[in-house]
Chain A
Amino acid sequence: MSTPIGPWQKNSALAWREIDDETVIISPTENVMHELNDTGSFLWKNIDGRRTSAELAELLAAEYEVTPSAALADTEALLQQLISSKLLVPAAAATDGVPR
């Protein structure tokens, strides 16, 4: 589970939008809809191509008042899922801006 140190960047080929406290992500070339819950959405919003998993975990711990170790475990687990689903790419591989 230690893979996602980062920094990682949102895959710029994806369309996404927040709906209530959740985030919906779709790939124009695949008929798949991805959903992130509120903590997932919080991390997604803060993934900016610069922050590492440790830095993201610090933000998560402050926002949700969880221990640093729990926040880091949750952050790395989510990042791993996003990487596996190709929703994140290494920051150096990201091309243009992130869709809004």
Chain B
Amino acid sequence: MSASQTTLGRGLEQQFELSIGCIPLRLHVSDARVLSQARERYRAFAGNEAPPFSIYLKESFAENGGNPEFVYDFEAQHAALRAFSAESQFIGAKNAYALDSLLRILLSWVLLRHAGFLLHGATVVRKGRAYIFTGSSGAGKSTIASFSPAGSVLTDEISLLRRENGEWRAYGTPFWGEFRATGSNSSAPVAGIFRLAHAPENHIKPLRAVETLRGILPNVLFFSEELAANQRLLEILGQAVKEISGYNLAFRRDKTFWEALPS
């Protein structure tokens, strides 16, 4: 593990650096148990090289801490975040689950500046290209992952897509569903987005750009109600559906679905 550790100030806070989707992050954690869970949870994503976006895990938000650009209250976990241009504060991240949830919410916002977004979907790499299988719970994301070769699944739950140098790439994330794993911190160019449905026989139907958008929008993770952020998200998604081929994929529960996919 290449995570850096630095003892700061009162000797309580430690840092843990990681990178998700090539977004460099640095966790500042005082709780040893949470730090241990984070190291285990994100071990495949540890370390980064670029100047990171700092995340401070705190007991309470600092008073007079300035005006955050993004605020989210995760009421179910009694947790919340405030995000600024180069750092964020988390409160209530007392376990790996709450930390994971806040991290997803923060990433969905940070990705706006990196022409990227998070999508409920499994990502499987085949012949060097990433196939994104999206759908709501029960649509078959984990089923697809379970029928894919070991090591080819970048995630079975939350896919991360970014446009870099004119190309859409899908990244592995540490956010997994039923197909438990720590994730793979690697990426591949996107072959297509496939909207899943179970069926007795395999069938694939190409979608127009606006149909693809209609299909993926309910599965895009986004938590800001701020107009400018939503406008930016729509620009990114609009570009994605124009440049990435989208399909409806009805599939039966076996490996033969690959035969229906475009090569």
Contact = CB atoms under 8 A, between A and B. Distances in A.
A35 B230 contact: no
A87 to B, nearest CB: 14
B225 interface: yes
Contact of B214 (A20, A31, A33): A33
A17 interface: yes
**Which one of A15, A20, A35, A100 has the highest number of Cβ atoms from chain B below 10 Å of its Cβ?**
A15
Interface in A68-92: none
B210 A28 contact: no
B33 interface: no
Query: What is the size category of the interface that chain B forms with chain A?
Result: 20 to 34
B231 interface: yes
Nearest to A18: B238
Interface in A24-40: 24, 26, 28-29, 31, 33, 35
B140 to A, nearest CB: 22
Given A19-B241, A19-B242, A24 B213 contact: yes
Given A15-B230, A20-B210, A28 B224 contact: yes
A12 B230 CA distance: 12
Contacts of B224: 28
A35 B227 contact: no
A20 B226 contact: no
A interface, how many residues as a size bin?
10 to 19
B41 to A, nearest CB: 29
B164 interface: no
A18 B241 CA distance: 12
B209 A19 contact: yes
Given A24-B210, A24-B213, A15 B231 contact: yes
A28 B225 contact: yes
Given A19-B242, A33-B214, A28 B227 contact: yes
B32 interface: no
A26 B208 contact: no
Interface of B: 208-210, 213-214, 217-218, 224-231, 233-235, 238, 241-242
Given A15-B230, A20-B208, A20-B242, 15 more contacts: A12-B227, A15-B231, A15-B233, A16-B234, A17-B238, A18-B238, A19-B241, A20-B209, A24-B210, A24-B238, A26-B217, A26-B234, A33-B213, A35-B214, A99-B227
Interface of A: 12-20, 22, 24, 26, 28-29, 31, 33, 35, 99-100
28 contacts: A12-B227, A14-B227, A15-B230, A15-B231, A15-B233, A17-B231, A17-B234, A17-B238, A19-B210, A19-B238, A19-B242, A20-B209, A22-B210, A24-B234, A26-B230, A26-B234, A28-B224, A28-B225, A28-B226, A28-B229, A31-B218, A33-B213, A33-B214, A33-B217, A99-B227, A99-B228, A99-B231, A100-B231
